[in-house]
Structure 1
Amino acid sequence: MASILKRLLPLTAALALAGVTGAAQATVTVYTSLSSFLAAVGTTGTDTFAGLSITGTTATPINRTAGAFSYVGTVINNTPTATGTHTFFGGGTTADPFLATNIAGDGMSFSGFSAGVVAAGGNFFASSAAGLYTAGSVTVTATDASGTITQVITPTSITAGSFLGFVSTTGVTSFTVTSVIAGASIWPSVDNLVLATAVPEPSTYAMLLAGLGLTGFAARRRRA
């Protein structure tokens, strides 16, 4: 009996981890509030950009963490003739910084997410040369296995604290933030970047409970 249980336990654990996922078409759901986003995902991690310099440039790419997850941020050189270095530059305050570009018109790309990350979001907005929130349009584009989905954030659609999140059935592989130049220079900016895993399927919970039950039974048999 003990030998049978030893063979069953690894199989049960594997089924619990795998769940009953199928080859369904990938889809992305867009959330415009943090509360609804959090209700649709599992474990989350947030990068508040603590420690980011707001008085000097930060070289690209950057390797950052959001809780237990990691990711890579890269500046997109959309202005090859601009004077200056195409790097990151923090905004906000030392106590509450956010991430922006050094040159107006450049964009930001985020990718290289940890395994298991299927969702990403944050506070996306435009900032000024002084590193402060300003009225301006920002485009956020998320990519997964099915393609891309784009959301345009305008001054009338959000405020400095608004949230935008993307949840993919197969996993968000990257997202970009670019500014729309209209009159005054605009710097694309992001704060409180959130990465998240998927919500476990009910069948996965059942598999895990079954595995725990077998483990407990095997332990009792060993003690006996």
Structure 2
Amino acid sequence: MIKILTGVVALAALAGAAPAAANLLVNGNFEASTSQTSTPTGWTNIGHTEGVISYASFGTPAYDGDYYYDIGGYGGATPAPGEGISQTVTTVPTALYTLTFGFSGENTAGVSTVLDVLIGSQLSQFTIVGDGSGVFKKPFQTTSINYLATGASTTISFTIASSTAFGFNDPLIDGVSFALAGPGSTVPEPASWAMLIAGFGLVGAAARRRRVAVAA
């Protein structure tokens, strides 16, 4: 009985095995960068080159470290739809990942901006509205998105989709993490499911035989 249970546990571990949930993104908190006009380390700019801004520069409520990324770039060229930043990481097909990040906006009162977040081909959109609390003074909020990988690599991108006034409420992001959702986050292949089902069947049969023996 113990041997059978041990075998089933081993099968379950094999089917759901996953590396430790480490951040796969390079410089996800933008602390390896200090320039407002240079591409942050590890990332690729989409559109014109943009850099990072320090929280101290405009009194932005601190979220993660000393720097954040401004999609559109402060004081640079006015952003156009589709501009932003991206990074490609290695992934395991059928593994479940979670993208977590903080976002805010430059926060000009009344200006509405849409942020596109693309993980592979999976699109999520976030509307950021200036709340009148002061330019660059809106606190960051945290959100998470789950993603089931379909290939050996996945590109994550943050781009500005639209705005009622480009350049006045550009999205701000920080604390970006892309990691396995947790232990056992890999979806078992059909063959693994079959092995697990067969193993549990053996456990059930052994338990029934034990009950019959005890009754006798």
State the TM-score, normalizing by the size of structure 2.
0.52
Q: Which digits, 9 at most, give the CA deviation of each residue in 1:114-135, with x for residues without a partner?
A: 44582212112222xxxxx555
Structure 2 spans left out of the alignment, 5+ residues: 1-8, 57-64, 132-137, 189-195, 197-216
1:118 aligns with 2:118: no
Give the corresponding residue for 1:19. 16
Which of 110, 117, 122 is equivalent to 1:148? Answer: 122
Alignment check: 8 A CA contact 1:125 1:160 kept: yes
Native 8 Å contact 1:105 1:185 kept in 2: yes
Deviation of the 1:20 alpha carbon: 8.4
Are 1:90 and 2:66 counterparts? no
Residues 45 and 86, structure 2, Cα contact 8 Å, conserved in 1: no
Larger proportion of strand: 1
1:104 to 2:100 alignment: no
- Identity over aligned pairs, percent: 16
Over 3 Å counting, the alpha-carbon distance change for 1:97 and 1:192 in structure 2 is: same
CA contact (8 A) 1:118 1:197 kept: yes
Q: Distance in 2 between matches of 1:17 and 1:63?
A: 36
Q: Is the 8 A contact 1:105 1:180 kept in 2?
A: no
Asked if residue 199 in structure 1 is aligned to residue 175 in structure 2, the reply is: no
Q: 1:14: Cα distance to partner?
A: 9.5
Give CA-to-partner distance per residue, 1:112-164, whole Å, 9 cap, x none.
1244582212112222xxxxx555423223234xx43222222279x532122
Match of 2:206 in 1: none
Q: Distance in 2 between matches of 1:141 and 1:63?
A: 20
Q: Does 1:168 align with 2:147?
A: yes
* Aligned counterpart for 1:188 among listed residues 165, 171, 176: 171
- Alpha-carbon distance in structure 2 between the residues aligned to 1:196 and 1:180: 28
Counterpart of 2:53, as a letter, is G
Aligned equivalent of 2:31: 50
- Given the superposition, is the C-alpha separation of residues 52 and 173 from structure 1 closer, same or farther in structure 2, using an over 3 Å criterion? closer
Counterpart AA for 2:179: A
Instruction: Quote the offset at 1:178 in angstroms.
Output: 1.0
> CA, structure 1 residues 165+175, in 2 after alignment: closer, same or farther (shift >3 Å)?
farther
Structure 1, gaps ≥5 residues long: 1-11, 22-41, 65-72, 78-85, 128-132, 208-224
Q: How many equivalent pairs are there?
A: 147
| Distance in 2, Cα, partners of 1:76 & 1:182 | 21
Instruction: Find the aligned partners of 2:55 and 2:17 in 1 and give their Cα distance.
Output: 46
Amino acid at match of 1:121: T
Q: Radius of gyration: which is bigger? A: 2
CA distance in 2, matches of 1:194, 1:202: 16
Report if the CA contact (8 A) 1:126-1:138 is conserved: no
Mapped partners of 2:125, 2:97: distance in 1: 18
Q: Give the direction of change, closer, same or farther, for the CA distance of 1:184–1:151 in structure 2 (3 Å limit).
A: closer
Give secondary structure in 2 for the equivalent of 1:164. Answer: strand
CA-based RMSD of the aligned residues comes to 3.9
- Match for 1:125: what amino acid? S
* TM-score, with structure 1 as normaliser: 0.50
